[in-house]
A and B are shown apart, each in its own frame.
Chain A
């Protein structure tokens, strides 16, 4: 620290630092550059949040790759190829990469687009293209999945369970290796450190509870078929919409086994299908909550909706009470580190020096505690509402100058009840006023009250979805395997692939990278969606 040389701003540490940071050192047991040289990778789910960054990283840092085959689902009147070149390659994270590579025509030689859909046998890739891919592809990287926490159970099952079955068929047919991306939260409702060496087969979070329960994939598939059949048969007689019942059925089943939601439940079944397949050469990568990029392709890129984005947006709107654990970290990890991690694992798999499970998370090395994040949400709200010209002035003052608080779930319930009682009183007063003064004067107020109520309800739903990760459970995912893998790389590789969550300055990341990224990239999409 005692240096008098210039201090260049280091966006990662959020400080002006002396000189260049010391580059990471590796043993050179694995060379990613050699591993990727003249290899062909088949990428599924390359159009998603992580997928695009992974694609960008692979294209930008590894010109050694021979071909990159990307599977893209067709949309109504757009073929997969059209969609890829007009939507994906034109997206903000890939545009600078395309320019740096020398234009689209250069990349077209390296890229091959195949149409397909995970929901169909052999991932929906046409038979002639499968023949062509045989002997050409060396490794399949699967990022595709339904990431909604509580969708109707069929949506989740079709992609995350049956989709994985189709994926396994494809991998076996092509006789290649597999890198499958799952989530850290397959651990379910647990507390404390989650190791990476827990057996995948027949895992369920409540297995330590002494009762008769035994988990098996076949049994779940059977349950699912029967459940769908039952919904189908009672569609005419049951007054509740089928969609709601499917949603509830999935959540109940997940919680019966100890998972937090349908997403993690179906993802775990997908993992078990892979682990149960004899002879499969695979690695499962489990990222935690994936957030805005730290530096690649540029700091602050984000398009994930099932991340902390809804919470950051809510914080920006001035929510004050946050039910979080005082001693718990939030397991977040920037998307570019996830992409790096996946490529490191891919290189390890190609060299045959891989483990089966890799957590990609930050709290093991460098935890960011939840109360600090709550304070950041308050400061963002202060900044936004102090300079806000529109809206109610009193409300803006309240939102600007009252600090956010860490509260418990119990006091959250009390606050909510009080708020609703208050709104009820206002509603009653307005209705009374309407009968006395007539609808012309009062109706606009009633309408705005309705809007406020809808907004509050929406916020309550969002908050409840995140409670398992902020309040009910507190996880730290161990990341020994990825650290070991990164340490095996050559020094040359480590310039392109960084795994350094320990270097993140969370204050700077959250304030200057993440919050600004969300305000820039997510807020506009979110507002138009709501409208």
Chain B
């Protein structure tokens, strides 16, 4: 039976979120005036999104994707590399790559399970060397984003359901698999696998982890102690 390592992205491997990514596209619109207009819109929406995120991650996602409405798909794809260089690469946690390499060396199939959009994931996945991705995709009509996400919207329970389906299809034993996430929204996904790890946990997730006895991992520090199940190769 195969085993897999499921990774959340934002907050787990790097400190970025949907809003900063969208702010990048707003800043880099076709002209200076358009950029200023779009960026102001993003700034104004921040308090609303912040409140929504506290209430429900799914609703937060729906609203932050709506901001893409009217954007051209060519632009989203064409600027993805620059977005990665400018916004994402500097925010990768020091130990993220080490962790990914460790799980790969231990025979896990690395899979990114994230609410982020496919075109922004591409350079990240290439950078980390992860081949498989489960992520959200925008709906386009005639190359223009409608502001909707192609169903299913990947968040909370949907993440758990999608990794179950993935495992069934690829013949993966979830009891032998591990999952990494920072947010309490991903508790269903963490519960689905045999080895959940609360990675850079938020206060809420830390409470859950302590309660359930899940290991806690800090990737933000330059050296971190990996949980025991990630160390057998060295012990042998």
Interfacial residues, chain A to chain B (CB-CB below 8 A) = 1-2, 4-9, 14-16, 372, 375-376, 379-380, 382-383, 386-387, 401, 403, 507-508, 511-512
CB-CB under 8 A from A9, the residues of chain B are 122, 125, 131, 133
**Cβ proximity bits B118-154 to A, threshold 8 Å, 1 near / 0 not:** 1001100100000111110100000100000011100
- A383 and B32 contacting across the interface, CB-CB below 8 Å: no
- B79 and A508 contacting across the interface, CB-CB below 8 Å: no
- B81 and A383 contacting across the interface, CB-CB below 8 Å: yes
- A4 and B165 contacting across the interface, CB-CB below 8 Å: yes
- A4 and B161 contacting across the interface, CB-CB below 8 Å: yes
Say if the beta carbon of B92 comes within 8 Å of chain A.
Answer: no
- B78 and A5 contacting across the interface, CB-CB below 8 Å: no
CB-CB under 8 A from B78, the residues of chain A are 375-376, 379-380, 507, 511
Pick from B30, B111, B143: contact of A6, CB under 8 Å: B111
Return the chain B residue nearest A387 by Cβ. B85
The answer for the CA separation of A30 and B212 in the assembled complex, in Å, is: 64
Return the chain A residue nearest B77 by Cβ. A507
What is the minimal beta-carbon distance from B192 to any residue of chain A, in angstroms? 14
What is the minimal beta-carbon distance from A366 to any residue of chain B, in angstroms? 13
The answer for the CA separation of A511 and B119 in the assembled complex, in Å, is: 11
- A512 and B74 contacting across the interface, CB-CB below 8 Å: no
Instruction: Give me 6 A-to-B residue pairs in the complex whose CB atoms sit less than 8 angstroms apart, sorted by A's number.
Output: A2-B151, A6-B133, A6-B162, A7-B133, A507-B77, A511-B78
CB-CB under 8 A from B111, the residues of chain A are 6
Number of A-B contacts (CB under 8 A): 81
Say if the beta carbon of B82 comes within 8 Å of chain A.
Answer: yes
**Cβ proximity bits B163-184 to A, threshold 8 Å, 1 near / 0 not:** 0011001100000000000000
- A1 and B73 contacting across the interface, CB-CB below 8 Å: no
The answer for the CA separation of A508 and B31 in the assembled complex, in Å, is: 23
The answer for the CA separation of A8 and B170 in the assembled complex, in Å, is: 12
Say if the beta carbon of B28 comes within 8 Å of chain A.
Answer: yes
Interfacial residues, chain B to chain A (CB-CB below 8 A) = 28, 30-32, 72-75, 77-82, 85-86, 111, 118, 121-122, 125, 131-135, 137, 143, 150-152, 158, 161-162, 165-166, 169-170
- A6 and B131 contacting across the interface, CB-CB below 8 Å: no
What is the minimal beta-carbon distance from B32 to any residue of chain A, in angstroms? 7
The answer for the CA separation of A508 and B123 in the assembled complex, in Å, is: 12
| Also in contact, A372 and B137, with CB within 8 A (given A1-B150, A2-B151, A9-B125) | no
What is the minimal beta-carbon distance from B103 to any residue of chain A, in angstroms? 17
The answer for the CA separation of A376 and B80 in the assembled complex, in Å, is: 12
| Also in contact, A15 and B118, with CB within 8 A (given A5-B169, A7-B133, A382-B79) | yes
* Other contacts beyond A6-B132, A383-B79: 6, CB < 8 A: A7-B133, A14-B77, A16-B121, A379-B74, A507-B77, A511-B78
Pick from B72, B79, B137, B152: contact of A16, CB under 8 Å: B137
CB-CB under 8 A from A508, the residues of chain B are 77
The answer for the CA separation of A375 and B158 in the assembled complex, in Å, is: 36
Return the chain B residue nearest A8 by Cβ. B132
CB-CB under 8 A from B125, the residues of chain A are 9
The answer for the CA separation of A372 and B30 in the assembled complex, in Å, is: 13
Return the chain A residue nearest B134 by Cβ. A6
The answer for the CA separation of A15 and B169 in the assembled complex, in Å, is: 20
CB-CB under 8 A from B150, the residues of chain A are 1-2
- A386 and B161 contacting across the interface, CB-CB below 8 Å: no
- A6 and B82 contacting across the interface, CB-CB below 8 Å: no
CB-CB under 8 A from B121, the residues of chain A are 16
What is the minimal beta-carbon distance from A523 to any residue of chain B, in angstroms? 16
| Also in contact, A6 and B166, with CB within 8 A (given A16-B118, A16-B137, A383-B82) | yes
Return the chain A residue nearest B35 by Cβ. A401
What is the minimal beta-carbon distance from B114 to any residue of chain A, in angstroms? 11
CB-CB under 8 A from A376, the residues of chain B are 74, 78
What is the minimal beta-carbon distance from A330 to any residue of chain B, in angstroms? 14
CB-CB under 8 A from B131, the residues of chain A are 8-9
Pick from B30, B81, B170: contact of A403, CB under 8 Å: B30
The answer for the CA separation of A14 and B78 in the assembled complex, in Å, is: 12
